[in-house]
């Protein structure tokens, strides 16, 4: 299968400290991948580099069939190219309904010119219903986002990201603060989303990663320490030393 994202030999230092150290790995176009690693392993910096928030000192980040360099693009261009990022804390418009939040996300997808005269069309109304269904919020479309549970807010935000039709979705610690039932629903949501796009989940919670049942990349000191199934990487003595054995 061809790679959608190809990170090769990237390094990034902050005040002489190498947060990312000659990091290389790739993500397929249709794949669910978990990225784990101890505190300070470079997980956030990796996401910052892919989304254009941080520039690496060296290396290359290529995206799509033609291998476009993401390093030549700014954050907005990278998002338009099809990279969506879900931060840990949900950032929905609390006073607006679920439907309005999703409608705004669809609107954000438009060019600046079409936004000027933009009105919800029957197409966007149908798309909002589709997005709500995709993230399990069909019954909550008319509710104020502020009234939703923490898990539902996270799903709403994922729905808002889906409005942009990302090809790669980077999700930061989706299980944090969720109830067990919400975690289970989030697992199935992420697995479903990864049936038609690339989804990279950065997560500390091993139980959650186990449920994702996908390939795992372990980062340590800014490089890949191990890669494979969760069972494979958790048997690796280096991984046990630096991460699990703590």
Ligand X SMILES: Nc1ncnc2c1ncn2[C@@H]1O[C@H](COP(=O)(O)OP(=O)(O)OP(=O)(O)O)[C@@H](O)[C@H]1O
Return residues touching ligand X (CB under 6 A).
14, 19, 37, 39-45
CA distance 111 to 131: 20
Work out how close the CB of 145 gets to ligand X at its nearest, in angstroms, rounded to a whole number.
26
Neighbouring C-beta atoms of residue 142, cutoff 10 Å: 9
Q: Judged by CB, which is closer to ligand X: 57, or 195? A: 57
Q: Judged by CB, which is closer to ligand X: 42, or 166? A: 42
The CA-CA-CA angle for residues 69, 70, 74, to 5°, reads 135
Q: Judged by CB, which is closer to ligand X: 40, or 228? A: 40
The pair of structure tokens assigned to 164 is 């942009």
Work out how close the CB of 196 gets to ligand X at its nearest, in angstroms, rounded to a whole number.
27
Q: Judged by CB, which is closer to ligand X: 37, or 90? A: 37
* Residue 197 near residue 166 (C-beta atoms within 8 A): yes
CA distance 201 to 52: 18
CA distance 40 to 48: 14
Q: Judged by CB, which is closer to ligand X: 16, or 117? A: 16
* Residue 83 near residue 166 (C-beta atoms within 8 A): yes
Work out how close the CB of 38 gets to ligand X at its nearest, in angstroms, rounded to a whole number.
7
Dihedral angle sign, alpha carbons of residues 61, 67, 72, 73: negative
Phi and psi at 214, nearest 5°, equal -135, 175
Rounded to a whole number of angstroms, the CA Rg of the chain reads 18
Work out how close the CB of 14 gets to ligand X at its nearest, in angstroms, rounded to a whole number.
3
Identify the residue whose tokens are 């392993």: 41
Q: Judged by CB, which is closer to ligand X: 58, or 165? A: 58
Work out how close the CB of 204 gets to ligand X at its nearest, in angstroms, rounded to a whole number.
7
Work out how close the CB of 203 gets to ligand X at its nearest, in angstroms, rounded to a whole number.
10
CA distance 140 to 132: 8
């Amino acid at each position: 299968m061809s790679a959608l994202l190809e990170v090769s030999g990237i390094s990034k230092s902050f005040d002489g400290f190498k947060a990312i150290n000659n990091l290389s790995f790739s993500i397929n176009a249709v794949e669910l991948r978990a990225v784990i690693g101890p505190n300070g392993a470079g997980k956030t910096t990796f996401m910052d580099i892919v989304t254009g928030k941080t520039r690496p000192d060296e290396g290359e980040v290529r995206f799509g069939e033609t291998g476009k360099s993401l390093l030549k693009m700014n954050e907005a261009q990278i998002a338009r190219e099809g990279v969506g990022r879900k931060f840990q804390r949900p950032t929905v418009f609390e006073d607006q309904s679920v439907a309005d939040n999703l409608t705004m996300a669809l609107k954000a997808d438009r060019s600046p010119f079409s936004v000027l005269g933009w009105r919800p069309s029957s197409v966007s109304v149908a798309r909002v219903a589709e997005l709500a269904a995709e993230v399990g919020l069909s019954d909550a479309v008319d509710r104020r986002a502020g009234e939703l549970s923490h898990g539902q807010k996270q799903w709403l935000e994922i729905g808002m990201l889906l409005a942009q039709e990302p090809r790669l979705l980077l999700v930061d610690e989706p299980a944090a603060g969720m109830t067990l039932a919400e975690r289970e629903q989030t697992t199935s949501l992420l697995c479903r989303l990864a049936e038609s796009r690339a989804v990279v989940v950065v997560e500390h919670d091993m139980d959650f990663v186990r449920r994702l049942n996908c390939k795992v990349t372990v980062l340590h000191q800014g490089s890949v320490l191990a890669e494979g199934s969760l069972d494979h990487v958790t048997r690796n003595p280096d991984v046990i030393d630096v991460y699990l054995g703590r």
